[in-house]
Amino acid sequence: RGSGKSYSKDVPRESMTLDQFVSDTRELSEYLIERFNQDNIFLMGHSWGSLLGTITAFRHPELFKAYFGIGQVANQFEGERIGYEWVKQQAMERNDKKAIKTLSRLSFPDSLAGSDLWLDYMTKQRQYVNKYGGVTTREITGMWPLISIVLKTREYTVRDKLNFMVGSMFSLRAMWDEVIHTNLFKEIDSMQLPVYILHGVHDYT
């Protein structure tokens, strides 16, 4: 909803809520269970999808054999704080004077900051997380490898490719406030299905 091939300027911003996405995921899961004649299915979530996946599996465990979280998000605000401290430390250790100067001027947003302030912060901070190997592997850094995947994919039309960033920014602005204020450590005490976490040691997003 609101991104990828599902992006449309007609998607109401007020429909971009965590509860709505959980409902979408439940509905899709029920469809797949019926379509493939299964009692239940596996659920896997990556990055933001891992936040959505965990909450969906928590609320509807009967639909899933197990849940897999990749690059698991549990408390995005705390994750951002850790990433900010890491990137400053990397800049100091590498004596990256330009990065040190830029990061020293960068204020870490507080919990009341809106999505536009966070977006401005992340645009600058993520440049250095990318540069130091905290997003993709240490051999492949920068945004181009990620962009090239979108440009080369056969499943996307030219229109889809042009809309990719538009949808991503629409989703980020619409969802960020709820994502940054969701803390699974406080909201979930236990899971009623097997849970597997796959998380890279160099992942600082």
Digit-coded pLDDT (tens) for 134-163 = 887 766 666 777 788 889 999 999 999 999
Note the pLDDT of residue 138. 66
Q: How many CA atoms lie within 13 A of 118 on its CB side?
A: 21
Taking the chain, what is the end-to-end CA distance rounded to the nearest angstrom?
23
User: pLDDT tens-digit profile of 72-107?
Assistant: 999 999 999 999 999 999 999 999 999 999 999 999
Please state, as a whole number, how many other Cβ atoms lie within 10 Å of the Cβ of residue 95: 8
Contact call for residues 183 and 75 (beta carbons, < 8 A): yes
DSSP 85-136: HHHHHHHHHTT-HHHHHHHHTPPPP-TT--HHHHHHHHHHHHHHHHHTTSSS
Note the pLDDT of residue 2. 94
Note the pLDDT of residue 142. 67
Give helix 158-180 / helix 76-93 axis angle, nearest 10°.
100
Closest by CA to 123, choosing from 132, 112, 115, is 115
User: pLDDT tens-digit profile of 19-42?
Assistant: 999 999 999 999 999 999 999 999
At 110, the amino acid letter reads: D
Taking the C-alpha atoms of residue 147 and residue 124, their distance in angstroms, rounded to an integer, is: 18
